[in-house]
Amino acid sequence: MPSNLTHAEMDKVPRPAELLYLLHGDPAELSDALSGLRPADIADALRHLPPDAAARLMAVLPFDLAVPAFDEPELTHHRADIITRMGEEKAAPLIDAMSADQQADLFRELSDTERRKFLKVLEPPTRAALEVLLRYPSDTAGGIMTTEFVSVPTTWTVQQTLDHIAEVGRAKETVYAVYCVDPDREALQHVVSLRDLMVASDRSQPVGALGDQRIPISVRARTDREDVARLISKYNLLAVPVVDDQNHILGIVTVDDVIDAIVREQTEDVHRFGGLEAIDEPYLAISFWGMIRKRAGWLTALFLGEMLTATAMGFFEAEIAKAVVLALFVPLIISSGGNSGSQATSLIIRALALREVKLRDWWRIAARELPSGLTLGVILGLVGVTRIVLWQRIGWYNYGVHWPLVAMTVGLALVGVVTFGSLTGSMLPFVLKKLGFDPASASAPFVATLVDVTGLVIYFSVAAFILGGTLL
Amino acid sequence: MPSNLTHAEMDKVPRPAELLYLLHGDPAELSDALSGLRPADIADALRHLPPDAAARLMAVLPFDLAVPAFDEPELTHHRADIITRMGEEKAAPLIDAMSADQQADLFRELSDTERRKFLKVLEPPTRAALEVLLRYPSDTAGGIMTTEFVSVPTTWTVQQTLDHIAEVGRAKETVYAVYCVDPDREALQHVVSLRDLMVASDRSQPVGALGDQRIPISVRARTDREDVARLISKYNLLAVPVVDDQNHILGIVTVDDVIDAIVREQTEDVHRFGGLEAIDEPYLAISFWGMIRKRAGWLTALFLGEMLTATAMGFFEAEIAKAVVLALFVPLIISSGGNSGSQATSLIIRALALREVKLRDWWRIAARELPSGLTLGVILGLVGVTRIVLWQRIGWYNYGVHWPLVAMTVGLALVGVVTFGSLTGSMLPFVLKKLGFDPASASAPFVATLVDVTGLVIYFSVAAFILGGTLL
């Protein structure tokens, strides 16, 4: 039977590591047990150990296993804690051997004093490269790029280039994309893939003559990582070069870094849609007060907005006193508006993120959401009226002598509120984008809050119209 | 100045294509205009044209541009419409030249009659490979794999393998991972990267001796595409082999297919979190009634659940009649519970998706959400009480003689409702997972509905306790 490392088996890795440590407390023994594992699995184990234990484990791991494990992007948020507990002499060779993008990631997490301390003990070329990368924010191409790429003059032959890769390939982040530069100005001119080189019929021709002759796809250091991800995904690239104004290559962003970026953006989007500030740390790793801070801000802001419902309800207090039956349906009606709004918002957030619709398409969406909202509102309105009629007829509840008018009020209010909810929910991401915010900040609770206040006004206005002279 | 294809420029591609077509209606002219573009951009143009125009454009595009453009995964949901309009003679060579995974994708979208019609005109080997792929659902490894991979016996030398890649490399989906099989049983034994081969010091050694000697990572045809994505992302692979029980390679899933899978799963998750059935088609492409169907189901289900609020309110009708002031705060209080629940749900959905927490960790989460909820509840409670005190003191609203008790009721109810919301919201994904559902089905509206009913009961119970004997 083959041993396939399926997801279920993957899940088992960290726990035994933690258990082993708890049982024996001996990092050397744990290191033995882990030596058959892949770097990503060791990174998993390191992530699940207390930082002190992880630092001791790092110290006893064979260097050629410690480096790739410590290089795993999954160790973000843990590396700084581990490295500061390892001491500078042990840490310096490890940091020197890491890939440039992960070095930068580590240094971004260190405090200013620690950063200066560790920069001092690094080899001068490592330090110089690192200081360049640290200039860029972590959510830009510059922040996730690496400086270890293969670059040759366009005048080199295919064979020369293949020989060069054989020689330097081990130390590069990827060898599958080769960047061809102008021999004089060193500006990026051309990209060939290792596949192009391998299948070339004539190995004495210059690399510049090979492959796609279009201007290569490149990004700027300040390009948002989300846009880098979209380019790599759209054009099925293994890496994209990051260039400056003179078209000199500063670094490359590889597809595996982009997957990590996509997954992080996804987490951000879900958190924000859920109505809190995005949290880039594991749930169980963030501190209690850190968590409260991320949640309390939005929760309080929404609460302040929602206070307008109390104001709106206060405005209709006399109506409620006269017809208490109206109050019964308040939660039902406003929540239906919120739900339809939340649906529309989730649709539009994704459509905007995937560039299926653009800002200027807002009116097409509005033209679609108006009939959609009306249809959905009619469906819910009919269900609502049926419920009131049934309960009244069966005798489960008595909505008073004017119950047909109450049913009509609820039904019509639902049509209005759901239509308004769909429209508001679909337009909110556009408004946010227009104002320069990320459309993904349009959270479900945000939409619900917007719709609740207006929903009450719609409901009581319909009530005043239909029940005026009878109940009101 | 270098011409960088940034995201903003990317956005411009489809519109001019559509415009050009609208202006001239001449596919040949459009084809000329598009010939300088990359396949992904042509796919974009095809996506934005009416299917008839797209079919005519396909017919006039040079074959070596038509094939890679039609092969773009972004054309999913459009290909079937285009191909059926092209006629079998024109379509057959195009389909034959597509990559196997995209062929399967196309055939999954064809109706049964069309599928049989097009299968008939294909080359026999294409047809055979396709019939295998079509056995697997599109959200499994088998459904997104391709059969064009490089495989050699473990006994071959490095040089033999490199020569083989140079010869067959052009027709393979990727040449960067080479699968080494047992010379007799043909079972997967080993994977080497093209980089390993290139940098090998001795090109006469067998490929089996090169690279990582651990059992290779592989998946089954039925493995969920999300798990495949997680493996590729975790182990930074360019492709993962799909094997059967005898460890024979059925195909490979490449990293670019996985990115598409991740992006689709992301869309699904956002849609479901927004409270509708996941829609795998662009917003503007899905039909009006298709859209209504995806939304009406959940909206009605939530509405039926929310009807319990009318029942709960009915239960407290006497209290409301006696103290109408209580009704004013109903929307504020229940929405706060829903908002805190939505926050907690979004956190746990992502933590579960990223495997940061497991099902068995539910009690750790509960142990964290209880104090978090209490703290957030106290914050909102204080804000709520302050608001009532302020409005009363300034004279903006009169909450009656017992206003301090009303303020206390609102404050305490908020603590209870927010705590309950956080707990419910965090536990719902676990409950769904335990019951065998996807935890990501826990939508914000679903949580809000659950919390609304209980929120009312909490509120009126607190009111009965505090206001009993005075207002009630």
A231 touches chain B (CB under 8 A): yes
Q: Where are the alpha helices (DSSP H) in A153-193?
A: 158-168
Using alpha carbons, select from B114, B230, B64 the residue that is nearest to residue B106: B114
In the prediction, which pLDDT does A47 show? 82
Residue B468 has pLDDT above 90, yes or no: no
Task: Give me B20's structure tokens.
Answer: 């050009």
Q: What is the mean pLDDT of chain B?
A: 88
Encoded amino acid at B69, one letter: A
As a whole number of Å, the end-to-end CA separation of chain B is: 77
Instruction: Give B186: exposed, middle or buried? Use CB within 10 Å, 0-12, 13-18, 19+.
Output: middle
Residue A6 has pLDDT above 70, yes or no: no
Residue B14 C-alpha from the chain's centroid = 24
Q: How far apart are the CA of A142 and the nearest CA of chain B, in angstroms?
A: 15
Angle at A311 between CA A324 and CA A471, to 5 degrees: 25
Encoded amino acid at B18, one letter: E
Q: How far is CA B20 from CA A361, B49, B82, B345, in A?
A: 19, 10, 19, 47
Of B162, B224, B328, the CB nearest to A314: B328
d(CA B382, CA B387): 9
Residue pair A246/A185 in contact by the 8 Å Cβ criterion: yes
As a whole number of Å, the end-to-end CA separation of chain A is: 78
B256 touches chain A (CB under 8 A): yes
Residue A11 has pLDDT above 50, yes or no: no
Averaged pLDDT for residues B227-231: 88
Contact B303 A332 (CB under 8 A): yes
Percent above pLDDT 90 for chain B: 47
Contacts of B386 in chain A (CB under 8 A): none
Angle at B212 between CA B211 and CA B216, to 5 degrees: 125
B250 touches chain A (CB under 8 A): no
d(CA A258, CA B316): 55
Residue pair A469/B362 in contact by the 8 Å Cβ criterion: no
d(CA B181, CA B193): 14
Rg, chain A, Cα only: 30
Residue pair B135/B242 in contact by the 8 Å Cβ criterion: no
Residue pair A114/A143 in contact by the 8 Å Cβ criterion: no
d(CA A426, CA A382): 24
Asked casually if ipTM beats, i.e. exceeds, 0.90, the reply is no
In the prediction, which pLDDT does B7 show? 39
Q: How far apart are the CA of A199 and the nearest CA of chain B, in angstroms?
A: 4
The CATH number fitting domain B288-467, selected from 1.10.357.20, 1.10.357.10, 1.10.10.970, 1.10.10.10: 1.10.357.20
Beta bridge partners of B150: B178
Residue pair A277/A421 in contact by the 8 Å Cβ criterion: no
Instruction: Give B374: exposed, middle or buried? Use CB within 10 Å, 0-12, 13-18, 19+.
Output: middle
Of B169, B217, B339, the CB nearest to A195: B169
Contact B215 A275 (CB under 8 A): no
Judging by DSSP bridges, how do beta strands B239-243 and B249-254 pair with one another?
A: antiparallel
Chain B, residues 442-461, CB within 8 A of chain A, namely 443-445, 448-449, 452, 456
Domain boundaries, chain A: 7-135, 150-263, 288-467
Contact A376 B295 (CB under 8 A): yes
Angle between helices A255-273 and B330-353 (to 10 degrees): 160
Q: How far apart are the CA of A116 and the nearest CA of chain B, in angstroms?
A: 31
In the prediction, which pLDDT does B330 show? 94
Contact B2 A243 (CB under 8 A): yes
Of B170, B176, B310, the CB nearest to A332: B310
Residue pair A377/A418 in contact by the 8 Å Cβ criterion: yes
Of A282, A321, A335, the CB nearest to B324: A321
pLDDT, one tens digit per residue, over A173-228 is 889 999 999 999 999 999 999 999 999 989 999 999 998 888 899 999 999 888 89
Can you tell me which residue has the tokens 């699995």?
Answer: A41
Contacts of B245 in chain A (CB under 8 A): 1-2
Contacts of A291 in chain B (CB under 8 A): 368, 372
d(CA A71, CA B440): 31
In the prediction, which pLDDT does B392 show? 92
Using alpha carbons, select from B82, B105, B74, B54 the residue that is nearest to residue A236: B74
Q: How far is CA A151 from CA A155, A182, A289, B71, B84, in A?
A: 12, 10, 48, 30, 45
Helix (H) or strand (E) segment spanning residue A266: helix A255-273
* Predicted confidence band of residue B24 (pLDDT cuts 50, 70, 90): low
Contact A279 B347 (CB under 8 A): yes
Angle at B423 between CA B422 and CA B425, to 5 degrees: 65
A390 touches chain B (CB under 8 A): no
B198 touches chain A (CB under 8 A): yes
B356 touches chain A (CB under 8 A): yes
Angle between helices B362-394 and A288-315 (to 10 degrees): 40
Contacts of A346 in chain B (CB under 8 A): 270-271, 273-276
Contacts of A325 in chain B (CB under 8 A): 317
Residue B214 has phi, psi (to 5 degrees) of: -75, 160
Higher model confidence: residue A472 or residue A53? A53
CATH 1.25.60.10 fits domain B7-135:
yes
Residue pair B26/B53 in contact by the 8 Å Cβ criterion: no
Contact A284 B354 (CB under 8 A): no
Query: Would you give the DSSP letter of residue A91?
Result: H
Instruction: Give A157: exposed, middle or buried? Use CB within 10 Å, 0-12, 13-18, 19+.
Output: middle
Q: How far is CA B27 from CA A352, B42, B74, B462, in A?
A: 29, 13, 21, 71
Using alpha carbons, select from B212, B177, B233, B459 the residue that is nearest to residue B355: B233
Beta bridge partners of B177: B193
pLDDT, one tens digit per residue, over A130-176 is 888 899 998 899 989 988 899 999 999 999 999 999 999 988 888 99
User: Searching chain A, which residue's CA lies closest to the CA of residue B276?
Assistant: A343
Three-class DSSP category at B223:
coil
Residue B179 has phi, psi (to 5 degrees) of: -95, 120
Contacts of A449 in chain B (CB under 8 A): 335, 339
Of A166, A332, A368, the CB nearest to B309: A332
Query: Would you give the DSSP letter of residue B148?
Result: -
pLDDT, one tens digit per residue, over B194-227 is 999 999 989 999 999 998 888 899 999 999 888 8
Contact A230 B7 (CB under 8 A): yes
d(CA A121, CA A91): 9
Contact A4 B218 (CB under 8 A): yes
Q: How far apart are the CA of A132 and the nearest CA of chain B, in angstroms?
A: 21
Q: What architecture is the A150-263 domain classified under in CATH?
A: Roll (3.10)
Contact A443 B235 (CB under 8 A): no
Residue pair B133/B104 in contact by the 8 Å Cβ criterion: yes
Residue A2 has pLDDT above 70, yes or no: no
Long-range contacts at A7-13 (CB < 8 A, ≥ 24 apart)? A7/B223, A7/B224, A7/B227, A7/B230, A7/B231, A10/A41, A10/B230, A10/B231, A10/B234, A11/B355, A11/B358, A13/A37, A13/A41, A13/A44, A13/A45
In the prediction, which pLDDT does B47 show? 83
Q: How far is CA B311 from CA A30, A228, A236, A401, B454, in A?
A: 59, 52, 55, 19, 12
Using alpha carbons, select from A11, A18, A47, A41 the residue that is nearest to residue A282: A47
User: Searching chain A, which residue's CA lies closest to the CA of residue B374?
Assistant: A292
In the prediction, which pLDDT does A9 show? 44
* Predicted confidence band of residue A329 (pLDDT cuts 50, 70, 90): very high
Contacts of A3 in chain B (CB under 8 A): 215
Residue from A1, A3, A7 to probe the interface with B (highest B Cβ count within 10 Å): A7
In the prediction, which pLDDT does A240 show? 95
Contact B321 A324 (CB under 8 A): yes
* Predicted confidence band of residue B142 (pLDDT cuts 50, 70, 90): very high
Helix (H) or strand (E) segment spanning residue A312: helix A288-315
Residue A377 has pLDDT above 80, yes or no: yes
Using alpha carbons, select from B273, B455, B371, B279 the residue that is nearest to residue A445: B273
Contact A195 B176 (CB under 8 A): yes
Contacts of B197 in chain A (CB under 8 A): none
Alpha carbon dihedral B93, B98, B101, B102, in 10-degree steps, equals -90
Residue A87 C-alpha from the chain's centroid = 34
Can you tell me which residue has the tokens 């016996």?
Answer: B153
Three-class DSSP category at B422:
helix
d(CA A241, CA A151): 11
Residue from A339, A387, A449 to probe the interface with B (highest B Cβ count within 10 Å): A339
Residue from A266, A271, A406 to probe the interface with B (highest B Cβ count within 10 Å): A266
Using alpha carbons, select from B208, B177, B183 the residue that is nearest to residue B195: B177
Question: Which of A2-16, A388-402, B285-299 shows the lowest per-residue confidence on average (mean pLDDT)?
Answer: A2-16
Residue from B168, B260, B281, B283 to probe the interface with A (highest A Cβ count within 10 Å): B283
A292 touches chain B (CB under 8 A): yes
Contacts of B258 in chain A (CB under 8 A): 259
Averaged pLDDT for residues A253-271: 87
Q: How far is CA A361 from CA A50, A352, B39, B283, in A?
A: 51, 10, 25, 11
Q: How far apart are the CA of B128 and the nearest CA of chain A, in angstroms?
A: 26
Chain B, residues 120-159, CB within 8 A of chain A, namely none
In the prediction, which pLDDT does B61 show? 85
pLDDT, one tens digit per residue, over B149-173 is 999 999 999 999 999 999 999 888 8
A274 touches chain B (CB under 8 A): yes
Pairs across A and B, CB distance < 8 A? 435
Contacts of A158 in chain B (CB under 8 A): none
